[in-house]
Structures are given as C-alpha cells and as structure tokens.
Chains A and B, each alone.
Chain A
Amino acid sequence: MITLTMAKALNAGMRRALEADPKVVIAGEDVGKLGGVFRVTEGLQKDFGEHRVIDSPLAESGIVGTAVGMALRGYRPVCEIQFDGFVYPAFDQIVSQLARLHYRSRGLLQMPIVIRVPYGGGIGAVEHHSESPEAYFCHTPGLKVVTCSDPVDAYWMIQQAIASDDPIIFFEPKRRYHERAELDESLAPAPLHSARVARPGTDVTLIAYGPMVKTCLDAAEAAAEEGHQLEVIDLRTLSPLDMAVVYESVQKTGRVVTVHEAQLNLGLGAELAARITEQCFYSLEAPVLRVGGFDIPYPPSRVEEEYLPDLDRVLDMVDRSLAY
C-alpha cells in the first residue's frame, strides 16, 4: 500500500506500460527532460531514452499525425497534449484520421493510441488552459473517451488505455493532479469502460466524472447532514457510456442530476438525459436536471469559481429535483 498523487499515479502507470511493452512510446511537448509542464512524465526519458520518450516539436497536429504513422508501424504511442485548449490544432488528425482508420480498413488496421489531455478549470490559469472539450470527442465514432477522478483509477486506467487496441482520448482533471490516495496494487482494477458507484444513496442520483466527482461527493456529504442520501456515480468512461450502472441507480432513486464543467448545450448531460428518459421513463419522479458550465466561453480566472459548478449549485439542483 502506497500513498500517491494523481500525477505520480499516472507517471507510475506509464512507467509500468513502458516496462511491459517495448512498443509503447510517449510523445509530446516538453515530456522529456522537463517531465511535462505538470511533471506527469518526470524521469521517464531518463530511464527509457529519447527514442521512447520523445520531445516533440511544438505542433499538435504533428504529434498526433506522426503517432498515427508510428501505430501503423506497430508502435503504441501515448501522446500528451499540453493543455485542453491546444488539442484543436490536432482536430483533423484525431477526428478524420485516427478515429477512422480501423473503420476504413474494415478492421485491418488498428490504432492503439492514447491521447492524454489535462483538462478542466479551477487552477487560475490564462485563457485556453481550462477547457472541457470532451463532448467533441464523444461525438466522434471510432474514438473512446475516458477520464479518471482519483489516483487509483489514474494508475490503472492509463495502463488499460495503453493496452487497448482502440484510440483513446484520456482526460486528466488537472486540478486534481495533486490530490492523494492510497493505492493497493493487490486489488484488481475494474474494466476500463465501466462506471462505478462512488457513494451509494437512495434519494437522488448525481452523475459526474473527472474533476466533478469530488465536488459531488462533497455535496453528498453535505446533503446527508440534511437527511438526503445522494448516490454519486463516477462515469469514468464517457464514450462508450456504461449506462447499466446509471439505469440501475435511476430505477432506485427516480431522480437524476448530471454534473460537468463543460458547457451544458449538447454536453454529456444532454446525452445522459436523453438515454435515461428513453430507458427509465416510468421510474422518473422528476425530469433529468443538469448542472454545468454556462454556455459562454470559459471566463477569466477571477470569476471561474462562479462559472464552475460547485457544491452549492449541485445542492440547489438536488433541491429542485426533490421538489417535483
């Protein structure tokens, strides 16, 4: 049993992957000597060499595009995009190239590529460093999208993602990089594409992922003091969604609030609401309600705490759900 931060857990997970498979390579801006701007790849180039931990030129499309080529050559690249807002220059390579090659080749070509993206706000950053672009990638067939919410999941999920033969966008909640947890390596991890009940409850289901899981757990703790038992689901996998866990919870509670940092319009909450309504219509006691970022570009950091869903906004929506 060891205690480690999410950043260290990701580092340890990638180290395991590099040790386990000589075809695993890491590429990105500043991932080598510096160890990445968040130090997530710290020490890996020193131990595995410049051929396996590659400092890339400052070009995101180039990082992903060359990873596609390396995958065609049998490698398993793990790309780092330095910040969420810098993934867009690679959009064509991700959406039109990477996501389609297995499909275009009728399964002959596999694209075992992981694209790590530190995402989300709450760190007081300048513009383009606090985005939540996950819905773009969930909307794209051929990609799988996952996000971890704590160090234990981070450690296992990065290894599972690297072992997957499908391209995976791996979102890392950067404001949780330095939160700690105990890791017991003797416990078998859950499958990569599965959701989990992070806190059981009976009254309202909160569905969250990534940075908002902690916010929802805090909200559930506060609600418990007022006598409401909230069930918190950590989705973990955003595409494909693991809806079985969600449906089971909704059939029990009859009330749902989805929570994410991303803008509400056409976000994950909208898809969850649609699917829950289709499958659990007769179980619902209230409409599926959503908490999210406002439908404005991410604001300057002095007001980001107002933009980001927090405990109070989550509990306010819980109250509205309970009022039906």
Chain B
Amino acid sequence: MSDISGASGEVELVQLLTPEGERLEHPEYSFSGDDDQIKNFYHDMVLTRRVDAEATALQRQGELGLWASCLGQEAAQVGSGRALGKQDFVFPTYREHGVAWCLGVDPLHLLALFRGIDLGGWDSQQSRFHLYTIVIGAQTLHATGYAMGVERDGLVGTGDPDRDMAVVCYFGDGATSEGDVSEAFIFASSYNAPIVFICQNNQWAISEPIERQSRIPLYRRASGFGFPGVRVDGNDVLAVYAATTAALERARSGSGPSLIEAYTYRMGAHTTSDDPTKYRLADELEHWRLKDPIERVRAYLRRSGSGDDPFFADVEAEASDYAADLRARCLALPDPEMLDFFDWVYAEQTTHLAEQKAHYAEYLATFEDVSQAPVDGLAPAQSASGRQPQPAYPRGVH
C-alpha cells in the first residue's frame, strides 16, 4: 500500500539554531553573518514582541477594536524580513507586524487599522510593504501579478544586485486551503515569476488544526506545482534568514518561485476575539514555549559571550520606552472624518457621489453644537452624537 502522505521519507526541517541556543550545520543552508547581526535579530524580535504585547493590552483596554497577535512568530517574520534586499517587495496577511517592523513601517499605522481609524494608512509603494489583506489568501495573487510585472520590467536575472528584485508573499497554513493560493502557485509556476511564498504554519487556523487543512507537510505541496519547497524551523531566526536569502536569490536570478514553510506556533489567540482554551490543550502551549524564538537567541548570545547583561537590559529598556511612546501616539490619533471617505472611492470622482457627499454635508450643517443651543426652558433632547437636530428637515436629501 502506498504511503497516504503522498511522499516517502522523513519530514525534513532546516534548523541552524536549536531551542537550547546551539548552532547547527546544514548541508544546504548556512548562516554566514556575525554575532552583531544576530544581536540585531534579537533586538528586532524583542521590539516586535513588545509592540505586539502593547497592542494586545490596548485592545483589552478598549482602545483597539481587535488585534491579531504575532506572538511566537517573531523569528519567522524577522528572519525573513531581514533577508529582504532593498528592492524586494512584500505582500503580507494581517499578522506580519514583525515584517512591517523590518521594512520601517511605523507600528502606529498597524494600530490605526485595528483601532478603526483607517483601512491601511501606510504608503505601501514607498515602504515596499503592501497593505494588509484580510480576506485569506487573496494577496497571493496580487503578489504573483506584481512579480509578473517585475519580470516584464526586466528586473530579473540581469546579475546586477542593484537591479534584480523579487517579491515575497506571506500567508498562513489555513490559507493553503483557499483556491486563490493554488491559483497563485499555478500562475507563478507557469510564468516562472520571481516570487518567494512564505507560509507561516502556526498550526492553527482559528480553531482548526493543520490536520484539517493538509494531509501532507505543506512544503511538499510545492512539488505538485513544479517548484521547490522547504520546511524550516520557523522559530529559528537563522534558518529562516538563510532559507529566505537563498529563495530570494533564486527568484532574482530568474529561476522562478519557491515555497518556504516556516514551521512555528501561534502562541496567542487567533485574534483578541478568540478563546483558544476551547480547542487546544495547555501542554501543547508548554511544549512550544520551550522552543521560543527569542529565548534561543538569548541563550546563544550568552553562550557565545556576544550578549551580556547590559546589552539585554538596554534592549528591554528601549522596548519599554518604545511601547510607552507608541501607546501615547495611538491614544492621540484623531478620528477620521466621514465626509473624506467619499473622495477616495474613485480616482475620478462621480457626479453621483459628489452629490451624495454634498447632501450629507448639508444634512450635517442642520445640526449645531449643543453648547450653542438656546437654554430658555427645558434643554432639548440630545442625540447620541451630541448633535442637536433642527426642526427644519432638509428636502430632497437622497
């Protein structure tokens, strides 16, 4: 009887740094950077985790409507984010806060989205970090199309490191069941697009375990579409960095797409609206806590002597200061103006929408501030918004 997993042999996992902080050799992948670079990874991961924790706290205090935590996935995000070249372009899901950090996107923009201020307020072209996509898997096609454009622009395989570029697309294990992801794999493969697909397999799609999405290891899906796939320890920042660097080089050189499955774990809830105690066991969390992506780097840096107490204390202090400042900036965000949203629907405004906006503005003008209302006799009833309705209702509003 054939192996129902569809592939024989052991599942391979690229690991260059053990949970205990020991460096490993791998026949194909290696990390050639120095300890200063590893200290930078550590810094980025600690800052990412601190921003994430602050955002979760802000949500618990009612300051954000929702937050999708990346707790536990810092190595998968920082390792890949720091491997990006200065031309490469990223398409994230809604959880890539660590990648956003690496590309210099102000975390305030991420908080603004989850606070309900806007729908993605950063300049995605300038930051090379596309807006968050909330519909699962939809961005994989955008990334593939972008990569097809890059190839048409002649920015692949020239051998000029200042010219060649690649696209990185993130998605999760749940997304691999979406049709769009399969279509993206097919288009990318068919057109040999310069793209790296990074699947952060965090084991859970809200309450559904990976076994519900796939009966084979996800990285093996790639071979069915005609490009290479590799599973790396997603909690090992060195392995993720090495695998991403290699895949990016492959894409930039014109050798086509590849898939990296970063095998990791969602240490938090799916979002702040979720309750994982209903569907997963506490000992699973404990098992993964021992594989923490930050602790193993700290252990390595202590072991190698590159990181001492003052270094770790400095990073902690910087993270605390950064979080306090971020919180203050978040609370100071002004609410958006409803009237502005009419202007962003089309590049070329329509008469209909301009009229609808004008009518709404007229309607608003029929209200006045309660503080300026006449006070003789009883105070008139107040609307929930604090605006004061006028008796003369405008005609012709539609």
Contacts and interface: CB of A to CB of B under 8 A. Distances in A.
A110 interface: yes
A239 to B, nearest CB: 8
Nearest to A22: B152
B343 A73 contact: no
Interface residues of B, number: 46
A105 B347 CA distance: 11
A302 interface: no
Given A105-B124, A144-B346, A166-B348, A66 B131 contact: no
A102 B347 contact: yes
Interface string B151-195: 011000000000000000000000000011001101100100000
Contacts of A109: 124-125, 131
B12 interface: no
B141 A166 contact: no
Contacts of B143: 69
Interface string B122-165: 01110000110101001011111111111011000000000000
Interface residues of A, number: 47
Contacts, number: 136
Contacts of A65: 138, 140-142, 144-145, 180, 183-184
The DSSP consensus for interface residues of chain B is helix
Residue in A64, A102, A104, A165 with the greatest tally of chain B CB atoms within 10 Å: A104
A105 B121 CA distance: 6
Interface in A224-258: 240-241, 243
B111 to A, nearest CB: 16
Given A103-B119, A144-B346, A240-B353, A72 B183 contact: no
Contact of B187 (A51, A57, A102, A166): A57
Contacts of A66: 141-142, 144-145, 148, 184, 187
B345 interface: yes
A70 B345 contact: no
A102 B145 contact: no
Contacts of B152: 25, 51, 75
Nearest to B167: A69
Nearest to A99: B345
Contacts of A62: 141, 144, 180, 183-184, 186-187
A189 interface: no
Contacts of A165: 347-348
Nearest to B183: A62
B393 interface: no
Nearest to A274: B398
B150 A73 contact: yes
A69 B344 CA distance: 20
Interface string A69-98: 111111100000000000001001100110
Nearest to B397: A278
Contacts of B125: 72, 108-109
B186 A57 contact: yes
A62 to B, nearest CB: 4
B146 A72 contact: yes
Contacts of A51: 152
A112 B398 CA distance: 30
Contacts of A73: 145-146, 149-150, 153
Given A73-B150, A75-B152, A96-B135, A68 B345 contact: no
Contacts of B385: none
B350 interface: yes
A301 interface: no
B277 interface: no
Contacts of B215: none
B183 A57 contact: yes
A58 B253 CA distance: 28
Interface in B23-39: none
B345 A142 contact: yes
A69 B145 contact: yes
B118 interface: yes
Interface in B200-247: none
Nearest to A67: B145
B144 to A, nearest CB: 5
Interface of B: 91, 118-121, 123-125, 130-131, 133, 135, 138, 140-150, 152-153, 179-180, 183-184, 186-187, 190, 340-341, 343-348, 350-353, 398
The 8 closest A-B pairs by CB, nearest first: A69-B145, A65-B141, A73-B149, A66-B145, A62-B183, A165-B347, A69-B146, A240-B350
15 contacts: A57-B183, A57-B186, A62-B187, A64-B141, A65-B142, A67-B145, A69-B141, A75-B149, A100-B119, A101-B131, A102-B345, A112-B347, A141-B345, A166-B346, A243-B352
